[in-house]
Structure 1
């Protein structure tokens, strides 16, 4: 892994390949390792970069006063030379990472060339009922006081379907084993009750929405609402897979991403 100083904090990331830049933003309790297959598959044609969000993986915890996650991401991309006057990256955000991508658009709409929002929300408060937002907030708050061995059996059935193989389950469980309560607590406080529903109609870059048909965390009803709200967006539903569709169906997920990038990358 590589690291870069962004303000007062160190951000870790993985990078591979050459070509138009594609940035991956992982979900909660995860880090850049979740994108191992995508870095391998897509680096033949693109510069693929996956960060460890502040508070996750090998990155420092979120520093108070450092700005929003979107602002931190903007500084990260600029520092690495992935964003600037003549370069704009494609930004792919998964679940919690989709909220970071939306915040990037809100704060720095000049940066992303396109958005790919996978298993996405307009923030929990922008896509879910107030009761469900508070239930999830309380659940995660309580989990941060528990060991991973008690959290993993609760989360896995909501992330993967019964069709997931044991290696797939092990990949996700291994990431959960390494989460940092202090880092997750800061991320929950920063993004757990955010509402980006008013941001969606302002998006003017091409936007791909990728969802699993069997997702129970961000179900198809959420996908359809996001699709209605984002002008000109394209919605792709991958059959028979759940929240982590790219883990259960990497070939179909990566093919959808590649097709999108080929259609929207500068030649």
Structure 2
């Protein structure tokens, strides 16, 4: 499905019935390749909405200067266009920093937050030196041939024991990346979102992975300390894109958390 939002053609999936759950992917991949298992599994209880961010998948390219605030406003406008008044917002990596920005700018839309392998923006979680290096490496990678781009990005996305049958469809979507869109998401990822953490007053799940080299567990522990009442869960085994590498584990934790939040709201 597609809808015009903020002057952009946004591709998204919507399936199921019940409370709304919104899934935001990272700065590589797209909605289906990142969240396919969760989209199917959660739709039996929830209205699941997964977007392709501007510059990814089937969505159009963002204009120059499109920053994290613009991504946040775009996602919020998508929800309003779909007549979603409140939603559980789930973000992976870049999508987690996006979730924080959406919460900060559109608080009334959010029932709960789940940050999967997330950052408070690179600057907010990694510090200046590492953030500068990561941005530089990302911009350099964006100019590579698609196969070289995959070869550069893939090692940091999964553990050494990842099942190639699960990983292959995701890597195909990475190979189809939009260079301009990827650069926009990399630059947006840099922005510091740490100021949002003290504002969070909704149930929050922090889901990290023991073999994640991009967003190690220590980052989750840091965010956990900064967000009162948050819950930190560490999955044993997978790397950064746990939604693909350990789909059943991620879905189990999401379902448990979402049910507990809905129960408290009843």
**Residue equivalent to 2:128:** 130
* Between 101-110 and 58-67, the greater mean CA deviation after superposition: 58-67
SS of equivalent residue, structure 2 residue 237: coil
The answer on whether the counterparts of 1:9 and 1:63 sit within 8 Å (CA) in structure 2 is: no
Among 223, 245, 248, which residue is 1:248 paired with?
245
Instruction: Give how far 1:64 is off.
Output: 4.8
C-alpha separation in 2, matches of 1:127 and 1:184: 20
C-alpha separation in 2, matches of 1:184 and 1:162: 25
Instruction: Give how far 1:166 is off.
Output: 1.3
**Residue equivalent to 2:57:** 57
The answer on whether the counterparts of 2:29 and 2:171 sit within 8 Å (CA) in structure 1 is: no
Instruction: Give how far 1:99 is off.
Output: 1.0
Among 253, 256, 261, which residue is 1:259 paired with?
256
1:122-161 superposed matches below 5 A: 122-161=120-159
C-alpha separation in 1, matches of 2:48 and 2:190: 30
The answer on whether the counterparts of 2:21 and 2:90 sit within 8 Å (CA) in structure 1 is: yes
The answer on whether the counterparts of 2:94 and 2:185 sit within 8 Å (CA) in structure 1 is: no
Does 1:16 pair with 2:15? yes
**Residue equivalent to 1:79:** 81
Among 195, 214, 218, which residue is 1:217 paired with?
214
Q: CA RMSD in A?
A: 1.3
TM-score with structure 2 setting the length: 0.94
C-alpha separation in 2, matches of 1:198 and 1:15: 31
Aligned residue pairs: how many?
261
Among 200, 206, 215, which residue is 1:203 paired with?
200
**Residue equivalent to 1:95:** 93
**Residue equivalent to 1:192:** 189
C-alpha separation in 2, matches of 1:64 and 1:81: 29
Does 1:108 pair with 2:106? yes
C-alpha separation in 2, matches of 1:221 and 1:7: 36
C-alpha separation in 1, matches of 2:159 and 2:174: 17
The answer on whether the counterparts of 2:25 and 2:52 sit within 8 Å (CA) in structure 1 is: yes
Larger RCO (CA within 8 A; separation ≥ 6): 2
Among 102, 109, 119, which residue is 1:121 paired with?
119
Q: Which has the higher helix share?
A: 2
TM-score with structure 1 setting the length: 0.94
Structure 1, gaps ≥5 residues long: none
The answer on whether the counterparts of 2:210 and 2:217 sit within 8 Å (CA) in structure 1 is: yes
